[in-house]
Amino acid sequence: MSLLRGFEAVRLVRVGPSLRERLERRIAAVHHRAVIGRLRRFRERLERDMEPEPWTALEATMVIMLADLCDVLGLDQREKATVLGAEGVLAMGDTLETGVRPLASPWLPTNERQAKAMRYVREHGEIDLNTYRQICPFWSNETLRLDLSDLVKRGLLVKNGRKKGTRYTIPD
């Protein structure tokens, strides 16, 4: 009898997600990849249909529309770069440099500091905080760091390295 009482006191403890939760996560991941694939194929179709002109030259800039769509869907910078392709990422940089925003896009920064940084990266291949400080000497280190961080967050630059060795480049 005493053994039975010991077993009565045992409670079941939930160790991990249920089968249903695991299936829901799996289905969401498959759906996420499918959406990225559809957007990428849409961009590739635009490229084919627009030849020999670049698809980024469309009057109602499709680059901004696709980038906004990626933001709404919560895609990270790698996934956004997959959807936009190299040409689209460069077109986003051009939009930043010129400050021209064909469509109102809340995520597209157009301040002069960031435009200077993008121009420098396109000419020299990379930028670091010290170089950025030389380009924009009247701004605090924190403001400049936040500018670069914002460009990384938006998928226009890629952060390489850590701390003082950090360099920012255009994504592949």
Tens of pLDDT, residues 52-104: 877 777 655 677 788 888 888 888 888 888 888 878 877 776 665 555 544 43
Reduce the DSSP state of residue 169 to 3 states and report it.
strand
What's the CATH number for 109-172? 1.10.10.10
The average pLDDT across 12-24 equals 81
pTM to 2 decimal places: 0.47
Task: Report whether 90 contacts 96 (CB < 8 A).
Answer: no
Per-residue exposure over 33-42, b if at least 16 CB sit within 10 Å of its own CB, e if not: eebbeebbee
Per-residue confidence (pLDDT) for residue 63, from 0 to 100:
79
For the chain, what is the mean pLDDT? 79
CA distance 1 to 27: 48
Per-residue confidence (pLDDT) for residue 26, from 0 to 100:
92
Q: Which residue has the higher pLDDT, 95 or 114?
A: 114
Task: Give span(s): CATH 1.10.10.10, the chain.
Answer: 109-172
